[in-house]
Structure 1
């Protein structure tokens, strides 16, 4: 339990070492006003290797905790190696990474308040992604804009808010990468939301480790996946569950699992 709960604050601190940047040439950043959150947000962008020599449009993955996705210099606990992984398989996708706000991360990535940890402002965060960030991305880059080609992905609280986004905006997000989801955060409220949701057609990749520090991670994830299966025939194969033996609640698990999740989703 201690290992798992400490992960709530895993992304709050930024790396203070002098490590050199590991981000590839395909990665850039820009800043955008987020009126829903009353701040400006730094956004990281990964473009496929052939983007500059092509005229085609690409699917998009929106990901949380951008500091940990592309660059070891900004990742306090290790990066996901998203750019290197996608380059290695010549992936044809644009990735949009959204930086967390340090001590405001819990607020942004949780749809409901927790008695101990607070939170509960995910509606504002997702409103920013859908109504401010996505229009900017679609206007700036050559993207496929429909739900079938738009994914949202994250880990821990990022897994929670990604699944919540698929319920709230099914017309926007057609694919979800749900890694080590913190479904326990506002469990009762989430269960109520599931009970009220009539349809669910989003493609979901569920993943966690069997050594995450809390048995509730697997149990809660399985309960949500069971709910998903009640909404559609399993024969459609729109969701996949992966439980990694020995996997812990950390970037190592998520980094090593990302490629398989991407290939299955796309």
Structure 2
């Protein structure tokens, strides 16, 4: 089904698409939830086929999919809630985070047969939507147990990159992880492609999207998360920064996110 909900935090209607398992109406129990940013890419990601196959997989726990659609404000609503980037992008990321936590999650809990938002809720996104999903779920671990980030925009920074800055701590996500409180019981799925770009700002022979993701993984390890273990990383040889690559890895992500046992 398609619907929309008015957000007081964003001062606009937010469109969404919800897909439930075939036994939704008859089921006496509630279902886990997968939230996805950039829900407008439902068709491009071939999600109808992917979700149908996941629902037929006896090794996968049935779940409810909710794709939240972005609009013209995407570049300002997605980002990191603690700070906009140095160009002012993501200036409404805090409001978007509040919409998800204060308005949308309660709305889903009230209107649909969903389980309590604790360990069995998953949040995912792609590119800038992946950065947003990571930011919201990481900082609201009382609602989410797993995070999926495909080609995440972890380059998001407080100031322009300076050559020979080997630590490069201007990337906002790194300090957000470092300064977080106690270790939250979250599991992480990261995906990158080897042909997403050619940029290599530090000239280390690794493209930036992979470099940035591995630095986030390293920061999570320093925080106490295990890799492998709490963290899963999938690198697609020849993978690009596009819907086709992300669509191809989504079935594996769903098996990871909702595996039985």
Name the TM tier (shorter chain). 0.7 to 0.9
**1: CA distance between counterparts of 2:115 and 2:10?**
26
Asked if the contact 1:66–1:99 (Cα under 8 Å) also holds between the matched residues in 2, the reply is: yes
1:168-247 counterparts in 2 under 5 A? 168-186=139-157, 187-198=170-181, 199-213=183-197, 214=199, 215-232=207-224, 234=226, 237-247=229-239
From 99, 119, 132, the equivalent of 1:161 is: 132
RMSD: 1.7
- Pair 1:66 & 2:36 matched: no
State the shift of 1:47 in Å. Answer: 0.7
State the shift of 1:158 in Å. Answer: 1.0
From 76, 84, 105, the equivalent of 1:107 is: 76
**2: CA distance between counterparts of 1:237 and 1:89?**
23
| Residue in structure 1 matched with residue 160 of structure 2 by the alignment | none
State the shift of 1:116 in Å. Answer: 4.0
State the shift of 1:233 in Å. Answer: 5.3
Identify if the C-alpha distance between structure 1 residues 168 and 235 changes in structure 2 by more than 3 Å, giving closer, same or farther.
closer
SS of the equivalent of 2:2 reads strand
From 51, 65, 69, the equivalent of 2:24 is: 51
Paired residues, what number?
A: 230
Asked if the contact 1:201–1:232 (Cα under 8 Å) also holds between the matched residues in 2, the reply is: no
**2: CA distance between counterparts of 1:59 and 1:156?**
24
Asked if the contact 2:85–2:156 (Cα under 8 Å) also holds between the matched residues in 1, the reply is: yes
**1: CA distance between counterparts of 2:222 and 2:174?**
14
Richer in helix (by share): 1
Q: Which runs of 5+ in 2 are unaligned?
A: 158-169, 200-206
SS of the equivalent of 1:41 reads strand
**2: CA distance between counterparts of 1:35 and 1:200?**
29
Asked if the contact 1:200–1:232 (Cα under 8 Å) also holds between the matched residues in 2, the reply is: no
SS of the equivalent of 2:196 reads coil
| Residue in structure 1 matched with residue 165 of structure 2 by the alignment | none
Identify if the C-alpha distance between structure 1 residues 45 and 94 changes in structure 2 by more than 3 Å, giving closer, same or farther.
same
State the shift of 1:163 in Å. Answer: 1.1
| Residue in structure 1 matched with residue 95 of structure 2 by the alignment | 124
State the shift of 1:31 in Å. Answer: 1.4
